[in-house]
Amino acid sequence: MLTRELAGASVRPLILSILSEGESYGYAILSRIEALSGGVLAWDDGTLYPVLHRMQNKGLLESSWRRADTGRRRKYYALTDKGRRALEREKQQWLQVDAMLAQLWGLQPRLT
Amino acid sequence: MLTRELAGASVRPLILSILSEGESYGYAILSRIEALSGGVLAWDDGTLYPVLHRMQNKGLLESSWRRADTGRRRKYYALTDKGRRALEREKQQWLQVDAMLAQLWGLQPRLT
DNA sequence: AACTATACCTGGAGACTCCAGGTATAGGCC
DNA sequence: GGCCTATACCTGGAGTCTCCAGGTATAGTT
């Protein structure tokens, strides 16, 4: 698994990025992350939900309870404009740090 | 500046990577990081020192006080074998997460 | 009726960054 | 000599965050 710190640094960008593709809900976001990582990475749901709540409190997300075709209640989250701007900032920051590490590791820099 | 989380996720890999090039000391590590970031990123030294102490406690680093040619006392840090292994792990984890984000952002994957 | 997968939530423990403050000294300038 | 700046290190407390363990509820399958 990931170090606590890297987990912390990546949850938010991952959530924002996933939601930038369209609205989704907690359980699906978890599955998406697991799939993206090739099954390597799986967050505890008790970690994800508080993060979603905090992000909503900060105005990055908005949510609405809806009933899916399956009959289940789901809380769908969608990006707000503020969330979209936050994603852009987080992305720039990630690329900034990544560029530093790439330099130290002798990897070729990323072309943005 | 960086989000607290990204800062947390990157300090350790950055320190380990910088020290993998050879021993160094707190103040120089700070300057190195600032230089690597093109002046954008500057850690507070009150953040760095406790990190170095923790890493030493965990056996990733070893330190020795020495007097530099300038006459100043410096605490030099060097990687231990355990530290080198930790770097390798942290690197793999970073690349793992980076690959996920790259996928979401439509960037080309990194060839390792 | 029991089980599994789906779907959400909370509280407390522990860990960590950040900030503000502190100590000490070499070298340059007046 | 006296002052300032850059160099060099350290600590304590506030606030924030992940992680874990626990809890609730229900659709579908056996």
pLDDT one-digit tens code per residue, A46-96? 999 999 999 999 999 999 999 988 889 999 999 999 999 999 999 999 999
Nearest residue of B to residue A88, measured between CA atoms: B105
Helices (H), A4-80: 4-19, 26-36, 45-57
- In total, chain A counts a number of residues equal to 112
Q: Which residues pair with A74 in a beta bridge?
A: A66
Pairing verdict, β A61-67 and B24-25: unpaired
- C5 C1' – A73 CA distance, angstroms? 14
Provide, rounded to the nearest whole percent, the portion of chain A with pLDDT above 70: 98
Q: How many CB atoms lie within 10 A of CB B53?
A: 12
Of A9, A37, A93, which has the smallest distance from its Cβ to B8's Cβ? Answer: A9
- C14 C1' – B70 CA distance, angstroms? 42
pTM: 0.92
Gap between the terminal Cα atoms of chain B: 29
Chain C footprint positions (protein CB, under 7 Å): 6-12, 15-21, 25-27
- Which pLDDT score, from 0 to 100, does residue B110 have? 83
Of A9, A36, A105, which has the smallest distance from its Cβ to B100's Cβ? Answer: A36
Tokens 């700070």 belong to residue: B30
- For A71, the 3-state DSSP assignment is coil
pLDDT category, A112, cuts 50, 70, 90?
A: low
Q: What is the pLDDT of residues B15-37, one digit of tens each?
A: 999 999 999 999 999 999 999 99
Mutate to test the interface with A, among B40, B93, B103, B108 (most CBs of A within 10 A): B93
Cα gap B101→B78, rounded to integer Å: 32
Q: How many CB atoms lie within 10 A of CB B76?
A: 18
